Chain A
Amino acid sequence: MSDLRLAWRNIWRNKRRTLLTAASIFLAVFLALIVRSLQTGLFDNLIQISIQSYTGHIQIHKKGYWDDRTIDNTIVYNDSLTAVVNRLKNVEITVPRLEYFALASSGMQTKGVIIIGTDPVKEDSLTRLSSKMVKGLYLDRTGRGVIVAGGLAEFLGLHTGDTLILIGQGFHGVSAAGKFSVRGIIHLPSPPLDNQVVYMNLPTAQDFFSADNRISSLSISLKKPDDIGMTMGELTSAVNLSKFEVMSWDQLMVEIMQQLKVKTASGMIIISILYLIVGFGIFGTVIMMTNERTKEFGVMVSVGMQKSRLAMILVLEMVFIGLTGALSGLAAALPIMAWYNFHPIKLWGAMAQAYLSYGIEPLLPLALKWGFILSNFTAVMVIVLLTCIFPVRRVFKLKVVEALHK
């Protein structure tokens, strides 16, 4: 009779109590995993949307650009920079952009706008911009036609084929002014952007701002986003960091990341409360198991069992109950998580509309990450082991004669 078998048999002395304790652990693990999986899936999706709709996984700028986004803080877009980036195996798409502000005017209306000059083909590969067109034609690489965001077009009373006048400040203080034909109208899901953005191809923007061959950012999309750390490392060692800044998506989306952190923390607090309640349940079981067997502990020590071995058997008993609950919770949650990871939940109503307006399918995949599966499993087992402190202390303080008279 090994200690393992003895511990296993001991936990089934009171089947109902063991099953209830294991069931509470099962429920806690199951709920925690599903909630975390949903939350992580949602957040990953949001991040993915942000990456795919604009930022990319990594951006390269002139050093200091992100803190002072002016037309003078731009970089020369030349072969040496593209050669450095394209050498990296993990790079899938690079999108050069030149962005700055200008005044847009049509008829009697004038408004401040964001001008985004970009490579139409590469931009479309990263953000699927063409899918957001509502009227007219998407950008081409050579023409001077622009596409205007829907809210802005409405404010300025613009339609396809109309003329848009742009006035602003170019590179090194040169004045920028020009007339552009409206090629198409685009709907951007973010209202602030929909009321402000004008897209044009990169050469047209460079010409308008007198910023020949200059870009404000080079967005990079990765083949394997999980390897971003390695790629960031390669990039930072490959570019001259006294001239350039290399930023990952989480550095580019600080506000979003902070919001997600707050939401993750609140989720963690709820899960912690759940685990605390379960912990007290387990502790109750431990107290009962210990108190009702004090005499038996006395007998075992009397006949020659070392207290350390007895304590180990008690720990094993609790570990078995913990494992039974945690593994069954895992076994129940994993197929659900895996199924909805490969077959994402189809969203409906306003949420689905919001996704569609981003040009993204309204699907919510559940995350399937070993990190949080392992952390939840570990949390339960740590709680179980903490509850073992009580019986272990009791055994080591056991007075055999008193125990035998219980």
Chain B
Amino acid sequence: MNIIEIRNLSKIYDEKTVPVYALNGVDLAFKEGEFTCIVGPSGSGKTTMLNMLGGLDSPSAGGIRIGDTDITSLRSRQLIDFRLRNIGFVFQSFNLIPVLTAKENVEFIMQMQGIKKDQRDKRTMELLNAVGLADKVNTRPGKLSGGQQQRVAVARALASKPRFILADEPTANLDSKSAENLLEIMEKLNREENITFIFSTHDARVVAKARRVVTLEDGRIVADVSKN
């Protein structure tokens, strides 16, 4: 069953002067439980695609349907709320809130969702256990390594029980051991809990783990390969 459907999606920058097509008439769908990589050279439209999927940017043309919702028709407040309840984000540079501990960073999302404290505490501990950071619950991001911070970011992305997680170059700032470790965690979460991951990446290790690889060039899909 498709959880994301993209129809004729275009994003044009500098429309009035010299139009640049970051995405040009893309049609694509993602099924629940996918572990998909979007690859391509710099400027091919990977990040733009992820921004569109996450509702962070609006398309110049086309539509994106997530479940039953056409997110391109949502207003700003509705879109923020939709993201809170449906989409998890993992950023290249971790982007944790520096004044919050690992536990608080994870819990923060659930608090915004209005989940009760005892439920929050339980899920936070489950998630930090799942990413192997149960002993760092009270540590602030500044005292965690890059790999540990990115694992907290994964736990934070999972906190809201999203429909899918968007990860923009999640291993770009990690050493190879941390990257390997992070990928194993995400793969395990995908396999065991059927969580959908969509990556944009240049990293061959991520591509190797992915079960589907979508290749973009000049804003168009040039390959869409599923591995069995």
B88 → chain A closest CB, angstroms: 8
Q: Tell me whether B91 and A306 are in contact (CB under 8 A).
A: no
Pick the contact of A304: B57, B84, B107 (CB < 8 A). Answer: B84
CB contact list, B22-78 vs A, under 8 A: 51, 54, 56-57, 76-77
A295 with B56: in contact, given A304-B81, A401-B51 (CB under 8 Å)?
no
Q: Tell me whether A13 and B99 are in contact (CB under 8 A).
A: yes
A354 within 8 A of B: no
Q: Tell me whether B81 and A302 are in contact (CB under 8 A).
A: no
Residue of B nearest to A405 (CB): B47
Residue of B nearest to A306 (CB): B80
B89 → chain A closest CB, angstroms: 6
Q: Which residues of A contact B80 (CB under 8 A)?
A: 301, 304-307
Q: Tell me whether A306 and B77 are in contact (CB under 8 A).
A: yes
Docked complex Cα distance between A242 and B99 (Å)? 73
A1 with B108: in contact, given A299-B91, A401-B51 (CB under 8 Å)?
yes
A13 with B98: in contact, given A1-B107, A305-B112, A306-B80 (CB under 8 Å)?
yes
A304 with B98: in contact, given A400-B56, A401-B51, A404-B91 (CB under 8 Å)?
no
B2 within 8 A of A: no
Q: Tell me whether B85 and A304 are in contact (CB under 8 A).
A: yes
B48 → chain A closest CB, angstroms: 9
Summarize A's interface: helix, strand, loop or mixed. Answer: helix
Pick the contact of A303: B76, B89, B98, B100 (CB < 8 A). Answer: B89
Docked complex Cα distance between A401 and B59 (Å)? 13
Q: Which residues of A contact B76 (CB under 8 A)?
A: 307
Q: Which residues of A contact B83 (CB under 8 A)?
A: 302-304
Q: Which residues of B contact A6 (CB under 8 A)?
A: 97, 99-100
Q: Which residues of A contact B100 (CB under 8 A)?
A: 1, 6, 9
Docked complex Cα distance between A296 and B100 (Å)? 13
Q: Tell me whether B95 and A295 are in contact (CB under 8 A).
A: yes
Residue of A nearest to B111 (CB): A1
CB contact list, A282-339 vs B, under 8 A: 295-296, 299-307, 309
Residue of A nearest to B93 (CB): A295
Q: Tell me whether A306 and B99 are in contact (CB under 8 A).
A: no
A10 within 8 A of B: yes
Kindly supply a per-residue 1/0 record for chain B positions 102-134, scoring 1 wherever the CB is within 8 Å of any chain A CB and 0 otherwise: 001001110111000000000000000000000
Q: Tell me whether A302 and B89 are in contact (CB under 8 A).
A: yes
Residue of A nearest to B166 (CB): A302
Pick the contact of B57: A1, A307, A401 (CB < 8 A). Answer: A401
Q: Which residues of B contact A306 (CB under 8 A)?
A: 77, 80-81
- The listed residue with most B CB atoms (<10 A of its CB), out of A296, A302, A401, is A302
Docked complex Cα distance between A295 and B93 (Å)? 11
Q: Which residues of A contact B85 (CB under 8 A)?
A: 304
Docked complex Cα distance between A6 and B156 (Å)? 17
Q: Tell me whether B104 and A1 are in contact (CB under 8 A).
A: yes
Q: Tell me whether B51 and A304 are in contact (CB under 8 A).
A: no
Q: Tell me whether B97 and A300 are in contact (CB under 8 A).
A: yes
B160 within 8 A of A: yes
B200 → chain A closest CB, angstroms: 13
Kindly supply a per-residue 1/0 record for chain A positions 5-29, scoring 1 wherever the CB is within 8 Å of any chain B CB and 0 otherwise: 0100110110000000000000000
- The listed residue with most A CB atoms (<10 A of its CB), out of B85, B97, B107, B156, is B97
Q: Which residues of B contact A307 (CB under 8 A)?
A: 76, 80
A312 → chain B closest CB, angstroms: 13
Docked complex Cα distance between A300 and B96 (Å)? 9
A310 → chain B closest CB, angstroms: 10
Residue of B nearest to A401 (CB): B57
A222 → chain B closest CB, angstroms: 57
B70 → chain A closest CB, angstroms: 19
Measuring CB to CB, which residues of chain B are less than 8 angstroms from any residue of chain A? Answer: 51, 54, 56-57, 76-77, 80-81, 83-85, 89, 91, 95, 97-100, 104, 107-109, 111-113, 156, 160
**24 intermolecular pairs with C-beta atoms under 8 Å apart:** A1-B100, A1-B104, A1-B111, A6-B97, A9-B100, A13-B98, A295-B95, A296-B97, A299-B89, A299-B91, A300-B97, A302-B54, A302-B56, A302-B83, A303-B89, A303-B156, A304-B80, A304-B85, A304-B160, A305-B84, A305-B112, A307-B76, A401-B56, A404-B91
4 more contacts with CB within 8 A, not counting A304-B81, A304-B109, are A1-B108, A303-B83, A304-B113, A400-B56
| Closest 6 pairs (CB-CB, A-B) | A304-B84, A9-B99, A299-B95, A400-B56, A401-B57, A1-B104
Measuring CB to CB, which residues of chain A are less than 8 angstroms from any residue of chain B? Answer: 1, 6, 9-10, 12-13, 295-296, 299-307, 309, 400-401, 404
